[in-house]
Amino acid sequence: MIRSLFLIALAAFLLVGPMRPGWAQAAQSGGEGRVTGLTLPRLASIRVDEVNVRTGPGLRYPVIWIFQRRHMPVEIVAEYENWRRIRDWEGSEGWVHHSMLSADRSVLVLSETATIRKDRADTAAAVARLAPGMVASATACDAEWCRVTANGYRGWLRRQGIWGLYPGETFE
């Protein structure tokens, strides 16, 4: 009896497994995106002021939450046709249309405060202080500092206490 139930369960698993939608398989892929050929995962930002995040890649899937912040950094973890599965700084995931995303880089302040400085040094003059939850556009990052713009202020921000960069990642 137990063997029969096991065989039935195994047969059902083998039959249903290949019938998974393509996007479910895309969600598990890493390395290179099947649609764009770009690296997965990769970082991006929200392009517009309001974006619906859905349970699946299409308008027929329900909205699970709404991003209401332009330039918020996100991580693209999968691709399916014109849809991208994203992950936010808290680890929540969902699907958005690719047109709602930008390759422009930004960072989110997680620490108590972050100071934008005139130069890449802790002793350089402070330009502005960013509170937790504030977002800054990042135009370049080295091993310790990022050149950022936030609310019209420009300068250098220490990488510690921000989200939107991979460890050791640098770019110009």
Q: Is residue 85 included in any domain, yes or no?
A: yes
Contact 60, 95 (CB under 8 A): no
Q: Are residues 138 and 97 in the same domain?
A: no
CATH of the domain at 129: 2.30.30.40
Decide: pTM greater than 0.85.
Answer: no
Q: Exposed, middle or buried, 85 (CB in 10 Å: 0-12/13-18/19+)?
A: buried
Last residue of a domain, one of 58, 81, 104: 104
Q: Are residues 6 and 43 in the same domain?
A: yes
Q: Are residues 22 and 76 in the same domain?
A: yes
The pLDDT score that the predictor gives to residue 13 is 39
The pLDDT score that the predictor gives to residue 30 is 61
Other C-beta atoms lying within 10 Å of the C-beta of residue 109: 21
Q: Are residues 45 and 91 in the same domain?
A: yes
Last residue of a domain, one of 84, 104, 124: 104
The pLDDT score that the predictor gives to residue 102 is 97
The pLDDT score that the predictor gives to residue 23 is 52
The pLDDT score that the predictor gives to residue 91 is 96
Read off the pLDDT of residues 54-78 as tens digits, 9 standing for 90 and up. Answer: 999 999 999 999 999 999 999 999 9
Q: Are residues 97 and 144 in the same domain?
A: no
Q: Is residue 46 included in any domain, yes or no?
A: yes
Domain count, the chain: 2
Beta-carbon contacts of residue 99 (< 8 Å; ≥ 6 apart): 47, 82
Segments of the chain with pLDDT less than 70: 1-30
Q: Are residues 112 and 99 in the same domain?
A: no
Q: Are residues 113 and 100 in the same domain?
A: no
Q: Are residues 11 and 94 in the same domain?
A: yes
Boundaries of domain holding 157: 107-163
Rounded Cα distance between 77 and 57, Å, is 13
Q: Are residues 20 and 82 in the same domain?
A: yes
Contact 135, 108 (CB under 8 A): yes
Q: Are residues 85 and 29 in the same domain?
A: yes
Contact 87, 94 (CB under 8 A): no
Contact 5, 49 (CB under 8 A): no
The pLDDT score that the predictor gives to residue 120 is 96
Rounded Cα distance between 147 and 167, Å, is 16
Other C-beta atoms lying within 10 Å of the C-beta of residue 154: 15
Amino acid at 86: I
Q: Are residues 91 and 132 in the same domain?
A: no
The pLDDT score that the predictor gives to residue 21 is 56
The pLDDT score that the predictor gives to residue 139 is 96
